[in-house]
Structure 1
Amino acid sequence: MTMIAPNPPGSWLRSWVRALTPPAEAAIATMSKAVSDRTGPFSPGPLHVCASVPAYPTKTGSNLHLPSCSRSAPVGRHGRFALNLPSCLRSDSVLRKVNTLEPKTVGDQFALLVSSVVDYAIFMLDPTGKIVTWNDGAQRIKGYTADEVIGRHFSLFYPPEEARSRKPDWELEVAKREGHYTEEGWRLRKDGTRFWASVVITALRDQTGRLRGFGKVTRDLTERHEQEEARNAARDREEARLRAHADRMAELERTKAQFLNLASHELRGPLTLIRGYNSMLQDGSIPAGQVPAVARLLETKLAHVDLLVEQMLETARLEHDAFDLFRQRFDLGDVVQEQLDIFRPLSPDHQFMLDDDGTPLIVEGDRARIATIIANLFDNAIKYSPAGGEIWCTTRNQGSQISVIVRDQGLGIAAEHMPRLFTRFGRLPTEENVTIHGTGLGLFLCKEIATRHGGDITAKSEPGAGSEFTLILPTAP
C-alpha cells in the first residue's frame, strides 16, 4: 500500500506521469480526476478507479503498461488516501527512468542536475535507512549501480565495526532529532577499498512534519585527507625534531655544567698535592731519602691528571662528532703489556697477573684509543680495590674475535647500579666509594671506543666479590 498525501488531490499522479506521452497522460488523468472528485467528508465507501489501456509509449521510447485495475481507498477532504499503484508506477522503477527524461519543468531540471552530478553521491533513504534513489556520482564514488543498492540499508557503506555498533542508525537518529548530521570518516566501496568521506544526512519532512526519509550527500575527500595526513605527519616530524634538538641543547648544557664541576673537583686534588710537594722540593724540606718516594707519588698524580684531561678531551670530541679513528693493524697483546708496565709501579699494593696463552692478538683500529680502554680498566680495578689484592688480565684469541678480561677483588657493584655503569657521568654513589676519585667518564668512553671499532664491553660483578670487565674486538681480516 503506497501512502499519498493530498495538496492537491491527484497531484501525486501528475508527478509520475511526466515520463509518459500524451495518450498515457490522458489515461492517468482519468484516475487523477476520480480521486479529485472525492472531496466530500470522509466516507468509508469504496472508490473505484479504472484504467484499461494496455500499454503506452514513453518519451524515452519504451512502453509503459497500465493493466486494468480496480482499487479502493478511503478519501476525505483533509485526509490522505491510500492507493495501490501498479508496479510500473512505484518509485524504484519510475525514479530510475526519470533521470533520462527531457527536462520540461524546474523539478525535472533539478532531477537531471542531481542525476548528472559525478563529484557527489546524492541519494535518498526511506525512514528506516534503505536506499530509494541513486545518482551517477554515487555510482562513481561507491562503485554500486542503482540496481545493486536500491532497497538495501545504507550501512553497507560503513566499516564492519561501525555497522555492528549500529552507528548508521545512530546517525539517522541524530539527523531526525537535529535536522541534519555531518561528519568525515572512512567508508567502503563495492570492491572493499576505503575512502575518506564527507557526509551530510538531512531529515526530509512533509508539510505536516511527518518524516518521509533522509537525503544523503557524500563526497570523496581521500586525496585531501591524505594530503592533510602528510602535512600533519611532516609537522609532527618537525616538532619532534625541534623537541629533540631542544632536549639535546638542554642535555648539553647539563653536561657542560657537570663537566666543569667534575673537572674542577677532580683536577683540584692532584694539582694541590703536586703544587705542595713541588714547593717542598724547592725549599729542601723533604729529606733526601724520601725524594724517590715523593717522585713516584708525583708521577702517579700526574698520570691521573693526564688520564682525566684525556677523558675530558675525548668526551668533547664525541659531543662535536670530531671523534676520528686512526686505524692500523697491531697486536693487542703488546698494548696490554705496555699498560701493565705503566700501572705496576704506580700501585705497589696490587699484584698484576697476566694470563696470556701466547697467541697473537691482531686487531685493526686506533691503537692509542684502544690503549685508553685498557688503561681505564686497570685504573678502575686499582681504584675500586682500595685494600690491594690481585688484578688478573686474561687475553684470548677466539678466532673471529679477541677478548681482554680484567678482573679485580674489590668492592663490586650492586645489580641496581649496573644499568648506569656505561653512561656519561655514571658514577655509582655508595658509602664505600664516596672517597674514590673519578669523573664517571671512563667506562662511558670505553664503551664508545669499543662500539666504534665494532666491538663491545660487558661487565659482571657482585658486591664484595669484585668485578670483571670484558673487552671484545673483532680480529683483523
Structure 2
Amino acid sequence: MGERRFQRGSRVERRRCGWIPCRYDTIPDRGRRRGVPSGPALMEIDILVAAALCAAGMLGFAMALVRTMRQLRETRRAEARLRDRERMLNDVIDHAPQGVASIAPDRRITNANPRLASMLSAPTATLIGATTDSFLPVEYVSRIFKSFEPAASASDTYEADCQARRADGSAFWIHLSITPIRQAGGTIDYFLATFEDVTAKREAEETAVANLAQLEKLNRLKSEFVSMVSHEFRTALVGIQGFSELIRDQDMEVREVKSVAGEINSDAQRLNRMITEMLDFDRLEAGKIHLDLKPLDMNELVQDAVERAAVTTDKHAVVAELQPGLPDVIGDSDRLLQVLANLLSNAIKYSPDGGEVCARTRLSGGSVEVVVSDHGRGIPPEFINRLFGRYERYEDKHAGKIIGTGLGLAITRQIVEMHGGRITVDSALGRGSEFRFTVPLAPAVGSVTTRSA
C-alpha cells in the first residue's frame, strides 16, 4: 500500500504538523504567508492554550493568560469602535452644511471642511496653515480669543453675526460660532469654529424692515390724506351750501346771482376734480386704466390746455411756446390733457404772486418733450424726491392754503410712464420750477392701439 498523502491545508495535516486547529486558520499554499489568527480564531486559541496549561498544572499562569487575552480583545474592540466613530465624525464634518474649522490660538487654521472652502471661494489646501486674517478682521478675532479666560468652563461659546471676505474680495455676512477646546489642565488647545452664510437671511430681514417702514409711512400718509380730503370736501360743501342759501333767502340782482352761482360752480368743480383724482388713482393702482393711443398733434394739445388754464387766473400770464412742424406723437388725448392740466394748475397754485407760466414743446430724439415752467417760490431739494409719491403735497407757508388731494403728480407720472415717456422736475427755492415730460413719436404708419395700465 502506497504512502498516504495529505491534502495541503487539511485538518489532518494540521494535526500531523502540530498546528493548533482554529476555524479561520489554514496551512498556506507554497509561496504564501501564514495567516495570523484573530477574532473567533484568537478566542479558540485562548481557550485551547488555557486548557493545555491547566492540564499541565499551571492554573495561575493560565488564568493570567486568559485575562490578558480578554483585555487585548477589549482593547482591539475599543480601538475599532473609536476608529468607526472618528470616520463617522469626519464624514459628518466633511458633509456639514456649515463651514467648520479648527483654529490654533495664533489664528492659524489647522483643519477646514469643504463647505468652508466653498464659502470663502478658496481651495481647502490654501486655507490649512493660513490665518483667519484673510477673511476675518484681525482685531475682531483676537478680541474673541482673548475673551475666553483659561479658568472658564469648557462649554463657553461665542456667537455673533459679522462680515467676512471671500478670496475674490467680495463681502458677505456669516453667523460665527467659536468654542474653545481645552486640555486637561484648562489651557486652550485650539478653537472649534463654525461658519454659516446668513447673507440671504440678513437681506430678507433688511427688506422686511424697509417694507414695514414703507407700510407705516403709507399708513400715516393715508391717514393724513383722509383727514385732508375730508376737510377739502367740507370746505367745498360749506361754500355750496352757503351760497345756495344766500340765493334762496335773499333778494339779489341778476349780476349778484351770477357771481354767487360762479362761486357755487367753482366749488362744485373742485369737488369733481378731487373725486376724479381719487377714482383715477385707484384705477391706475388696480391696472384698470386703458389708453386709447392714436397719432396726435402735441402742439394742439398744449395750446388747448394753455387756453383752458388762462381763464382760471387773472394774476398769471399763461403762454405757449411751440416748436413748429413737430411730428405726431402716439398717445391718449384725454389723458395727456389731464397731465397738462395738472402741471399748469400746480404752476399757477404755487405762484401766488403771479407771473408767467409757460408751456413749451420741442423735438427730443424719438419723442416730443413738453416743459411747463413757472416763476414761483420753487420746491426745496429735500422734497423733490417725494414729489411724485402718493398722498404727497408740498405745503408752502408763503403760498397760503393749497387745495388738492396730493394725488395729482402721482397720477401724472403714471400716465406719462404708461405712454412710454418719463417725467422729471428741476426746481430750487426762489427761482421757480420746471417740469419736463416726454411722449414717444407715432410710428411711420398710423394705427390705433389700446394700452392698459
Pair in the same fold by TM > 0.5: yes
Unaligned ranges ≥5, structure 2: 1-32, 37-70, 92-101, 118-126, 165-175, 444-453
Please give the alpha-carbon distance, in whole angstroms, between the structure 2 residues aligned to 1:164 and 1:459.
Answer: 45
TM-score, normalised via structure 2 length: 0.57
Decide whether aligned partners of structure 1 residues 391 and 246 sit closer, same or farther in structure 2, where only a CA change above 3 A counts: closer
Q: Number of matched residues? A: 338
- Greater mean deviation of Cα atoms: 399-408 or 306-315: 306-315
SS in 2 for 1:412: coil
Unaligned ranges ≥5, structure 1: 1-56, 61-102, 144-153, 187-195
Decide whether aligned partners of structure 1 residues 157 and 314 sit closer, same or farther in structure 2, where only a CA change above 3 A counts: same
Aligned to 1:114: 82
Decide whether aligned partners of structure 1 residues 138 and 300 sit closer, same or farther in structure 2, where only a CA change above 3 A counts: closer
Higher relative contact order (CA 8 A, sep 6+): 2
| Shift, 1:138, TM fit | 10
Decide whether aligned partners of structure 1 residues 392 and 171 sit closer, same or farther in structure 2, where only a CA change above 3 A counts: closer
Render the CA deviation track for 1:364-389: whole Å, top value 9, x for unaligned.
34443332211111111222233333
Aligned to 2:427: 461
Instruction: Tell me the amino acid that sits aligned with residue 368 of structure 1.
Output: D
SS in 1 for 2:341: helix
Is the counterpart of residue 203 in structure 1 residue 203 in structure 2?
A: no
Aligned to 2:373: 407
Please give the alpha-carbon distance, in whole angstroms, between the structure 2 residues aligned to 1:308 and 1:340.
Answer: 21
Aligned to 1:355: 321
SS in 2 for 1:438: coil
Instruction: Tell me the amino acid that sits aligned with residue 379 of structure 1.
Output: S
Aligned to 1:191: none
Please give the alpha-carbon distance, in whole angstroms, between the structure 1 residues aligned to 2:115 and 2:364.
Answer: 66
| Shift, 1:155, TM fit | 7.0
Aligned to 1:305: 271
Render the CA deviation track for 1:403-427: whole Å, top value 9, x for unaligned.
1111223333344443443333433
Please give the alpha-carbon distance, in whole angstroms, between the structure 1 residues aligned to 2:180 and 2:88.
Answer: 14
**8 Å contact 1:361–1:396 — kept in the other structure?**
no
Task: Name which of 401, 417, 439 aligns with 1:435.
Answer: 401
Is the counterpart of residue 388 in structure 1 residue 354 in structure 2?
A: yes
Aligned to 2:59: none
**8 Å contact 2:148–2:156 — kept in the other structure?**
no
Aligned to 1:256: 222
Decide whether aligned partners of structure 1 residues 358 and 235 sit closer, same or farther in structure 2, where only a CA change above 3 A counts: closer
Is the counterpart of residue 324 in structure 1 residue 289 in structure 2?
A: yes
TM-score, normalised via structure 1 length: 0.55
Alignment of 1:203-352 (within 5 A): 203-204=183-184, 237=204, 247=213, 250-282=216-248, 285-318=251-284, 321-331=286-296, 332-352=298-318
Instruction: Tell me the amino acid that sits aligned with residue 118 of structure 1.
Output: R
- Greater mean deviation of Cα atoms: 282-291 or 170-179: 170-179
Decide whether aligned partners of structure 1 residues 165 and 373 sit closer, same or farther in structure 2, where only a CA change above 3 A counts: closer
Aligned to 1:376: 342
**8 Å contact 1:382–1:388 — kept in the other structure?**
yes
Render the CA deviation track for 1:217-265: whole Å, top value 9, x for unaligned.
989x88xx67xx5xx956984x667656655654454333222221122
Please give the alpha-carbon distance, in whole angstroms, between the structure 2 residues aligned to 1:304 and 1:163.
Answer: 63
SS in 2 for 1:472: strand
Percent identity, aligned pairs only? 25
SS in 2 for 1:346: coil
Decide whether aligned partners of structure 1 residues 252 and 316 sit closer, same or farther in structure 2, where only a CA change above 3 A counts: farther
**8 Å contact 2:413–2:422 — kept in the other structure?**
yes
**8 Å contact 2:363–2:369 — kept in the other structure?**
yes
